[in-house]
Amino acid sequence: MSPSSTPPRALTIAGSDSGGGAGIQADLRTFNACRVHGTTAITAVTVQDTVRVSDFVEIPVGIVVGQIEAVIADIGVQAVKTGMLASAEIIRAVARTCDRWGIGRSGDVPLVVDPVAASMHGDSLLRSDALEALRSELIPRATLVTPNLDELRLLTGVRVRSSSDLGPAASALLRLGPAAALVKSGHLTNEPDCVDLYDDGEQRIELPSKRFETANTHGGGDTFAAAITAALASGKPLVDAVWFGKQLISEAVRDSYPLGAGYGPVAPSPR
Ligand code: PLP
């Protein structure tokens, strides 16, 4: 790429983490590491340090939609990711806006839905009425949905206790209607390796990586989904984008660092 050419563009629709580890901040860091220009539609602002999320406020729906439409109309977008969406009202508005702009499994622009429900501290990032909206309005439009095991249980009722439960879990997710599902097994700490499972109904692929002994994994889910989104924006096919994301997140966990009194962030390195 010559210095004056326009890079691919990705949009993240997500919340702000004042601690700089997760959310919008993680997405932009990852897009940048992947040489993709990141644009943002901020849905909520969290009051957050490395120990807890003590509060958050939602952005008015008209401003969320306004951000999406402004950047798409002027800058364009090759892939979209959603993270913390906070409320049913925001989820419904994002779903309608995706339809309007051809974003999602039946449009031209891939949509990665990271169904963020809670922080790793256990603090909720989603109002209680929003889970059903996520399940019925947004996930059926997704090119790829990327839950961790807690989010998977909330969405499908399936509880994963070992890697042998991942297949049925992926099938349960696909029944919600996304084009593909990626079940992340980072929380299966009793397993020696970290084997995630990709399933698009035609292919089921195991993605193994080494498990690093660290508690500094804040923003890991966001970083993984953002890396996949960046790869999609750069034109990679979905399965290649998932492998790219797996490699990036594995190295980012290896390179994570301590911060504050709680959990430090993962650190994506430039590609
Ligand atoms: N804060 C915001 C704004 C987020 O979007 C997320 C996750 O997506 C988190 C916090 C939680 O990240 P983690 O579970 O890695 O701590």
pLDDT, average across residues 75-81: 98
- Please give the Cα distance from 157 to 22 (Å, whole number): 26
Structure tokens at 59: 């952005």
Mean pLDDT within 94-111: 98
Query: Rounded mean pLDDT of 241-255?
Result: 98
Query: CA torsion, points 95, 248, 209, 126, in degrees to nearest 10?
Result: -30
pLDDT exceeds 80 at position 20? yes
- Give me ligand 1 centre to Cα 258, in Å: 16
CA of 156 from ligand 1 middle (Å) equals: 21
* Of 247, 244, 248, nearest in space to 144 by CA: 244
pLDDT averaged over every residue in the chain? 96
Give pLDDT, residue 2. 61
Indicate which residue's Cα is closest to atom 11 of ligand 1: 119
Which of left, alpha, beta for 201 (phi over 0: left; psi -120 to 50: alpha)?
A: left
Residue 242 has which token pair? 């998932």
Spacing, Cα 221 to ligand 1 middle (Å): 8
- Token duo for residue 136: 């019925």
Lowest-confidence pick of 35-49, 188-202, 224-238: 188-202
Residues with CB under 6 A from ligand 1: 14-15, 17, 22-23, 46, 48, 83-84, 116, 119-120, 125, 218-222
Min mean pLDDT across 27-41, 138-152, 183-197 is at 183-197
Quick check: pTM over 0.75?
A: yes
pLDDT at 1 over 60: no
Q: How far apart are CA 46 and CA 85, in angstroms?
A: 12
Please state, as a whole number, how many other Cβ atoms lie within 10 Å of the Cβ of residue 137. Answer: 18
Average pLDDT of the residues in 228-236: 98
Q: Looking at residue 4, what is its pLDDT? A: 85
Question: How far is the C-alpha of 168 from the C-alpha of 35, rounded, in Å?
Answer: 36
CA distance 27 to 42: 12
The pLDDT confidence band at residue 3, using thresholds 50, 70 and 90, is low
| Percent of the chain with pLDDT strictly greater than 70 | 99
Which of 116-125, 145-154, 155-164 has the weakest average pLDDT?
116-125
CA 228–ligand 1 middle distance (angstroms) = 17
What is the model's pLDDT at position 118?
87
